[in-house]
Amino acid sequence: MKFDSNLPNHFFFKDWGKPQSVKYLHPFISQRGGINNDKVFNVVELDYGDFKLQVCIDNNNFWAKKC
Amino acid sequence: MIFTWKLQGVSDTEISETDYLLFSAGTYNTNIIVGEFNDSTHVKTDAGVDKSSANTPNNNKYISATEVSLNGGATQDLDTATDSDAVLTINVTDGTFAIEDALFFTFNGSSPSQQALRLDTYSAEVGDTNWSHSINRTNALALTDKTSDTSHDYYILLSISPTNPGICNGTMRLEGVMS
């Protein structure tokens, strides 16, 4: 994957400055009638005001979602 | 996080991870006719024992999109049911925390997008005016957000109907985000 701040939706973290708030999200699953096999990973949500960025590390994979 | 699932009744019955919620036509283990809805609800252990036999458990029966029968009583508007009328309660504890975007639904136990085997499911949170046809995650019942506290309770009305003859089974799931 190529990162280039001249491309749409590509930014350097430093361009965004400090987020207004950082929230730690802990997804959960509870079941009855069967054991859960789905993976659940914690997420960090950075609130930049106009948008939020959710990031998650799944073992060797890094996920980022702009909300 | 600690999740405590209970079938409510005169006395509550805890539904442990190895237990099942059993819906019957009348008495324990009586088959429900295809297209009809449950007249009793029980907790069945993995060994097949009626765990809730002494607890007079609640029953929530789907009547129409906006109506329910509680414990065999007359038809009433779904949104008149109270916390103690709900068949299912789920308590969540873990320090002080909030919960957002919680969902409740049933599925086939392996893929949240797939309907449970021969099972139609309707659920509602106490206060809802309409049942949710919560047969998979896409159609899940959306639960009210919880503000920061040390303990959270969900009160869920639940009713099922077989879609075809044969053994019906599925998995109930609560999922959400704690912060």
The predicted-structure confidence for A28-63, as pLDDT tens digits, reads as follows 999 999 989 888 888 988 888 888 988 888 877 888
Cβ contact A33–B109 (<8 Å): yes
Cβ contact A34–B171 (<8 Å): yes
For B71, other C-beta atoms within 10 Å of its C-beta total 16
pTM: 0.89
Tell me which chain B residues have a C-beta less than 8 angstroms from the C-beta of A31: 17, 171-174
Residue A59 counted as domain residue: yes
Tell me which chain B residues have a C-beta less than 8 angstroms from the C-beta of A24: 179
Residue A22 counted as domain residue: yes
Q: How far apart are CA B24 and CA B33, in angstroms?
A: 10
Our CA-based measurement puts residue B98 at a distance from the nearest CA of chain A, in whole angstroms, of 10
Residues spanned by the domain of A57: 17-29+38-66
Chains A & B: contacts with CB separation below 8 Å:
57
Which of the residues A31, A36, A43, A52 would you substitute to probe the B interface, choosing the one with the greatest number of B C-beta atoms within 10 Å?
Answer: A31
- What order do you get walking across the sheet with B75-77 strand by strand? B60-64, B67-70, B75-77
Q: Could you tell me which of B157, B148, B174, B146 has the C-alpha nearest to residue B83?
A: B157
Residue A25 counted as domain residue: yes
Q: How many domains does chain A have?
A: 1
Report pLDDT digits (tens) over B120-137: 999 999 999 999 999 999
Residue A62 counted as domain residue: yes
Residue A60 counted as domain residue: yes
